[in-house]
Amino acid sequence: MPRKFIKRWMPDHDTIRNHKSLQFLGTLLHDPNLFHLNRKSVIGAFTVGLFCAFIPLPTQMAIAAIFAIWSRVNLPISVGLVWITNPVTMPPIFYFCYRLGAWILQVPTQTLEFELTFAWLMEELGAIWQPFLFGCLVMASLSALLGNVVIRLIWRLAVVRSWQARLRRRRMRKSKAASS
């Protein structure tokens, strides 16, 4: 069952409650629903985490934590999924979001000559912010929807297999008892 697999990778509740970057949430972290591993909580956590992964702000983890607490879904999963867009994957993912937004809005893409200065960032962001943010919104929505559907299917498949295995074990016990 997915619960057993996920539980192996989950941090301890006290570790999360006492983490210094989440202290601003105070006693909100004491809600036991934030750490439950049931179908609703895990599916909701994937939806929140995948959506927040495409928010182009440095506070993605805090935003995911706030949404997880607000919607009472699994906090560690939703915050952990934000790391899909980490410092290594962020440039290609956000460039793809920009290209997608420009394609949907039918805006010509600009060739960007990268320069690591704040002035360059403000100038280029001023020119591309609409297709970039629209592409991020589209990708956030699509990934959250796709993650929701895929996790629902995986969870359902695991439950069906578990029931089938339980049925097989019962039949085996009955056949052994009848032959004795």
Over residues 139-176, the pLDDT tens digits come to: 999 999 999 999 999 999 988 998 999 999 988 888 88
State the average pLDDT over residues 113-135: 79
Res. 117: pLDDT tops 80 = no
- Cα separation, 101 vs 121, whole angstroms: 19
pLDDT of residue 132 exceeding 80 = yes
Q: Check residue 110 and give its pLDDT.
A: 77
pLDDT of residue 43: 93
pLDDT over threshold 80, residue 77: yes
Question: Is the per-residue pLDDT at 20 higher than 60?
Answer: yes
- Residue 101 pLDDT greater than 90, yes or no: yes
CA distances from 12 to 8, 32, 121, 154 (A): 10, 12, 40, 25
| pTM: predicted TM-score of the whole model, two decimal places | 0.77
Task: Give the Å distances, CA to CA, from 126 to 41, 88, 97, 98, 130.
Answer: 39, 24, 16, 13, 9
What is the distance between the alpha carbons of residues 17 and 36, in angstroms, rounded to a whole number? 14
Q: Assess whether pLDDT exceeds 90 at residue 111.
A: no
Kindly state the average pLDDT of the residues 111-131. 76
Provide the percentage of residues in the chain whose pLDDT is more than 90: 42
Average pLDDT over the chain, rounded to whole?
85
**What total of structural domains would you count in the chain?**
1
Measured between alpha carbons, how far is 41 from 56 in angstroms, rounded to an integer? 25
Q: How far apart are CA 46 and CA 147, in angstroms?
A: 6
Give the structural domain span for 89. Answer: 2-179
Identify the pLDDT of residue 84: 93
CA distance 72 to 34: 6
- Report the length, in residues, of the chain: 180
Over 70: is that where the pLDDT of 36 sits? yes
